[in-house]
């Protein structure tokens, strides 16, 4: 079985791009990844591409071949859709293709263009990732869904809004020096607690923003890297995927995310490691409560204890397990289809030492990404390790 190496990564700035099309955004990210990889376009065998709301936001489906054109490629191209986990799933499929020997060189990534629509339209589009019959039709949007999850967690474990506020403060602090992040402003706990309420107890600073952006990676087999003298420093050594009921009312609990637990267990087993071996992580903090649930589902914290991690300095940049050094979805931004691949872009740079926040993890050798769809009905986890 071939080992899978990351040869190059690329990302656009995340934020508002009112004068750019989705194809322009992905073309930029792909070009950066190909230059970083030093891999000829002619060697790319396929494009695996994540996108969720292109039909709503741009009136453009069938985006796979369109984005291959944007990347300067004429190769088989497939769009993957799994809500916010779309490009994370695309990365997983790329890993499987390289491991099996089906391909040696792949371009994988994602894009979402969202800010060209009013908030009401974006909210409607995002809500289609939930259960239309039992949730969307009765007015439940994702801020409301995560508010239900937060309330259930508070009731079970005694956590408070101030505990979640520390997560937002941490992630904004991590984004300040990240030139690709959407929000590079520091905030404090009072800012979070005094911000407008979106869906009690979820406030404005508890939620990730509406974002445009694209991300891309070139993944190669170890044999291709060796044959072409590529200096690939990071490999994807573990991958896992999990599932849960789409609608909240069908779940046994609102304070656990079994899809992430399943994905993590599979990824750890695949990589031959455990949660204690992870040095740095990027988790899917679409809302601050989501980071808490992720930390517990990934095995970093026992149930009912993850809410204190940021407050106690354990997941800050100088903590034992730095989480979301990119700024996370909360401050880096959340262009839905691009997010999963963007997590791997950020961690690859962090492990290679060429990220602005690499000084926080100078000895890191093993990293993890956690990418979730909707209220974690879908989840994908990847383990990255330094190989050179």
Task: Write the CB contacts of 232 (distance below 8 Å, at least 6 apart in sequence).
Answer: 5, 6, 7, 220, 222, 225, 387, 388
Task: Check 5, 17, 84, 355 and give the catalytic one.
Answer: 84
Are the C-beta atoms of residues 191 and 138 closer than 8 Å to each other? no
Backbone angles phi, psi at 83, to 5 degrees: 55, -130
Are the C-beta atoms of residues 106 and 45 closer than 8 Å to each other? yes
Task: Write the CB contacts of 171 (distance below 8 Å, at least 6 apart in sequence).
Answer: 285, 291, 324, 327, 328, 330, 331, 332
Query: Pairing relation of β-strands 378-386 and 234-243?
Result: antiparallel
Are the C-beta atoms of residues 108 and 219 closer than 8 Å to each other? yes
Alpha-carbon distance of 165 to 41, in angstroms, equals 45
Sign of CA dihedral 330, 331, 335, 340: negative
- Bridge partners of 280? 367
Other Cβ atoms closer than 10 A to 44: 24
CA dist 205 → 135, 158, 170, 334 (Å): 24, 21, 12, 14
H-type helices in 251-370, by residue range?
Answer: 258-271, 288-297, 328-332, 339-352
Q: Is 334 tagged catalytic?
A: yes
Alpha-carbon distance of 21 to 27, in angstroms, equals 10
Q: Is 286 tagged catalytic?
A: no
Task: Check 17, 166, 172, 334 and give the catalytic one.
Answer: 334
Q: Both tokens of residue 328?
A: 């996370």
- Bridge partners of 144? none
**Using alpha carbons only, how large is the chain's radius of gyration in Å?**
19
Alpha-carbon distance of 152 to 160, in angstroms, equals 11
Q: Active-site residues: which are they?
A: 84, 334
């Amino acid at each position: 079985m071939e080992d899978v190496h990351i040869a190059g990564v690329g990302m656009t700035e995340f934020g508002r791009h009112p004068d750019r099309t989705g194809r322009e955004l992905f073309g930029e990210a792909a070009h950066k990844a190909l230059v970083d990889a030093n891999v000829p376009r002619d060697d790319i065998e396929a494009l695996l591409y994540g996108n969720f709301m292109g039909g709503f936001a741009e009136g453009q489906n069938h985006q796979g071949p369109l984005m291959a054109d944007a990347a300067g490629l004429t190769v088989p191209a497939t769009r993957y859709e799994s809500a916010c986990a779309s490009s994370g799933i695309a990365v997983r499929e790329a890993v499987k293709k390289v491991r099996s020997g089906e391909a040696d060189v792949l371009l994988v990534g994602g894009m979402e263009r969202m800010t060209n629509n009013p908030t009401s339209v974006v909210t409607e589009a995002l809500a289609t990732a939930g259960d239309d019959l039992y949730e969307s039709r009765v007015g439940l949007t994702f801020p409301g869904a995560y508010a239900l999850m937060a309330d259930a967690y508070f009731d079970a474990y005694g956590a408070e809004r101030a505990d979640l506020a520390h997560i937002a403060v941490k992630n904004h602090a991590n984004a300040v020096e990240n030139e690709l992040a959407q929000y590079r402003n520091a905030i404090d706990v009072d800012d979070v607690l005094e911000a407008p309420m979106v869906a009690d107890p979820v406030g404005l600073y508890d939620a990730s923003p509406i974002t445009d952006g694209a991300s891309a990676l070139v993944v190669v087999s170890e044999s291709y890297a060796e044959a072409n003298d590529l200096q690939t420093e990071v490999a994807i050594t573990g991958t896992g995927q999990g599932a849960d009921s789409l609608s909240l009312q069908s779940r046994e609990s609102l304070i656990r995310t079994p899809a992430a637990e399943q994905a993590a267990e599979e990824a750890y087993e695949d990589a031959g490691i455990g949660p204690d071996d992870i040095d740095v992580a990027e988790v899917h903090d679409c809302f601050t409560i989501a980071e808490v649930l992720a930390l517990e589902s990934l095995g970093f914290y026992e149930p009912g204890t993850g809410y204190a991690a940021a407050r106690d300095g354990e997941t800050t940049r100088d903590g034992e397990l730095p989480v979301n050094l990119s700024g996370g979805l909360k401050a880096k931004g959340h262009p839905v289809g691009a997010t999963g691949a963007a997590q791997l872009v950020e961690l690859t740079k962090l492990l290679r030492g060429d990220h602005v926040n690499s000084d926080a993890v100078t000895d890191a050798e093993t990293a993890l990404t956690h990418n979730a769809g909707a209220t974690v009905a879908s989840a994908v986890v990847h383990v990255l390790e330094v190989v050179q």
